[in-house]
Amino acid sequence: MPTKTAPDEPHLQDETESVQPILIRDEVEEPSLGLRQSDRVFLVTVTLFCGLLAAIIFLSRPYSGFETVEIRHLQPEGFTFQLDINTATWVEWMQLDGVGETTARKIILDRETNGPFSSLTDVQRVNGIGPARIKKMLPNLTCASCEE
């Protein structure tokens, strides 16, 4: 007669009981980025499809019938600073090369003392402005009220 043993001793169990084998895997698949294998395959497929579509569109541009447009930029025109010798302030006079604050104030003082300038070269009456300096300034000078 078969003897029964305690269930906590599996090697002593009765042979009449059926034993089902249990499979234990050593490797457990960890989901990558929380995605299953099928999800990853789908995403890779969609990404490759989008990349292929973008490449086709990019490569077909030269054959699309559109012409390349060439844009030409004009060179900026030079600007010449102009000032009216009978209305300019001392600050405006200082914008000219070679005219500092002292010379600019002398020009204004002379204009207020002796009256408006009658010509562009009449600015030479100011102490410190000679023929060389007036020649350098002439391209920038105008006179709306002069008799010339």
When divided into structural domains, the chain yields a total of: 2
Q: Do 54 and 93 share a domain, yes or no? A: no
| Local confidence pLDDT in tens for the 148 residues of the chain | 555 555 555 555 555 566 666 666 655 556 567 788 888 899 999 999 999 999 988 887 766 666 777 888 888 777 888 999 999 999 999 999 889 999 999 999 999 999 999 998 899 999 989 899 999 999 999 999 887 5
Q: Do 90 and 129 share a domain, yes or no? A: yes
Does some domain include residue 98?
Answer: yes
The parent domain of residue 106 ranges over 83-142
Does some domain include residue 128?
Answer: yes
Show contacts of 40-49: CB within 8 Å, 24+ apart.
none
Q: Do 88 and 115 share a domain, yes or no? A: yes
Stated pTM of the model: 0.48
Residues in Cβ contact with 126 at an 8 Å cutoff, skipping those fewer than 6 apart: 103, 106, 107, 110
Q: Do 54 and 89 share a domain, yes or no? A: no
Q: Do 45 and 93 share a domain, yes or no? A: no
